[in-house]
């Protein structure tokens, strides 16, 4: 898991509620990512940020929002507009050096009740 | 549009065997390819990263190869152990260093039988 923390580990949401997933890193990496993983599937990109105060939509951004006010933090809000939010959410960083490796947090499992 | 495929979706082998996991991609213009391991309910752990200019990378019992022209990569695991049981995912990035999108395969779930 390296220097990336995600909280909470498990999250339960009632329909119609917004919830925010936390992602914090102490790796001093500029780029941060949010992915969604459904059972038996690969990771799908929700949002990414290459630098503070800047972020771009990924392939499945509808119903999600993010902010990047600090280099260390990239919170993801799952809004009530997301029709099927139950999934495993993974936050990642990229070191941007010549190795260009991605590092992942431990994930948050969100369940809609 | 880049697509990454991993076949088979699941693989079970007896302990001690050498094995190969496969990853194929449709667009050969990649910047790098990375292999990850994921244990159930956990995040991903990077195993090996191969730059587009490289043909292979090795770490312990693991060896990853890259053939850009054919759009394939393999992850070779020598002398498999029960602790190797996990899902293995490959991901490609490209085509240049500024491109931030990384496309993942759906993974191969590996089970090593004692």
Per residue in A42-64, pLDDT (tens digit) is 899 999 999 999 999 999 999 99
Select the highest-mean-pLDDT range: A15-19, A92-96, B11-15.
Answer: B11-15
Record: contact A42-B107, CB cut-off 8 A: yes
Percentage of chain B lying above the pLDDT 70 cut: 96
**Region B93-106 average pLDDT:** 77
Chain B contact probe: residue of A6, A37, A90, A94 with most B CBs at under 10 A: A37
B105/A42 CB distance under 8 A: yes
* B47: alpha, beta or left? (left if phi > 0; alpha if psi -120 to 50): alpha
pLDDT tens string B23-44: 999 999 998 999 999 999 999 9
pLDDT exceeds cutoff 80 at B97: no
Task: From residue A75, give the alpha-carbon distance in Å to each of A48, A66, B40, B48.
Answer: 11, 6, 24, 28
CA–CA separation, B32 vs B93, rounded Å? 5
Categorize the per-residue pLDDT at A1 as very low, low, confident or very high, splitting at 50, 70 and 90: very low
Per-residue pLDDT averaged across B12-23, rounded? 97
Sheet bearing A76-78, strands edge to edge: A4-7, A19-25, A76-78, A64-66
Mean pLDDT rounded to a whole number for chain A? 92
Quick one: pLDDT band at residue B99, thresholds 50, 70, 90?
low
pLDDT for residue A79 is more than 80: yes
CA distance A79 to chain B (A): 23
* Mean pLDDT rounded to a whole number for chain B: 93
Specify the pairing of strand B19-25 against strand B32-38.
Answer: unpaired
Cβ atoms of A71 and A30 within 8 Å: the answer is yes
Q: Answer with the residue of higher pLDDT: B39 or B101.
A: B39
The larger pLDDT score, comparing residue A13 to residue A40, is at A13
Please say if the pLDDT value at position A2 is more than 60: no
When pLDDT is averaged across residues A35-41 and rounded to a whole number, the result is 89
Gap from B98 CA to chain A (nearest CA, Å): 9
With a pLDDT cut of 90, the percent of chain B lying above it is 86
* Surface of B (44-103) touching A: CB under 8 A: 44-46, 49, 51, 89, 91, 93, 97, 100-102
Per the CB < 8 Å rule, is A104 touching B41? no
């Amino acid at each position: 898991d390296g220097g990336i923390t995600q909280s909470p580990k498990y999250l339960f949401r009632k329909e119609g509620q917004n919830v925010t997933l936390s992602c914090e890193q102490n790796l001093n990496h500029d780029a941060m990512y949010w992915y969604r993983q459904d059972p038996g599937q690969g990771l799908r990109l929700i949002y990414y940020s290459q630098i503070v105060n800047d972020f771009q939509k990924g392939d499945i951004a509808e119903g999600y929002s993010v902010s990047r006010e600090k280099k260390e933090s990239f919170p993801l809000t799952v809004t009530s507009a997301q029709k099927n939010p139950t999934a495993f959410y993974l936050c990642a960083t990229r070191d941007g050096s010549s190795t260009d490796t991605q590092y992942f947090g431990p994930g948050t499992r969100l369940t809609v009740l | 549009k880049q697509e990454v495929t991993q076949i088979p979706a699941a693989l079970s082998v007896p302990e001690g065997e050498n094995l190969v996991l496969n990853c194929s991609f449709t667009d050969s213009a990649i910047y790098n390819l990375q292999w990850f391991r994921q244990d159930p309910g956990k995040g991903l752990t990077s195993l090996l990263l191969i730059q587009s200019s490289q043909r292979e990378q090795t770490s312990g019992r693991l060896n990853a190869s890259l053939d850009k022209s054919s759009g394939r990569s393999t992850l070779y695991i020598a002398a498999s152990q029960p602790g190797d049981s996990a899902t293995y995912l490959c991901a490609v990035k490209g085509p240049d260093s500024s491109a931030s999108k990384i496309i993942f395969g759906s993974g191969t779930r590996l089970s090593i039988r004692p």
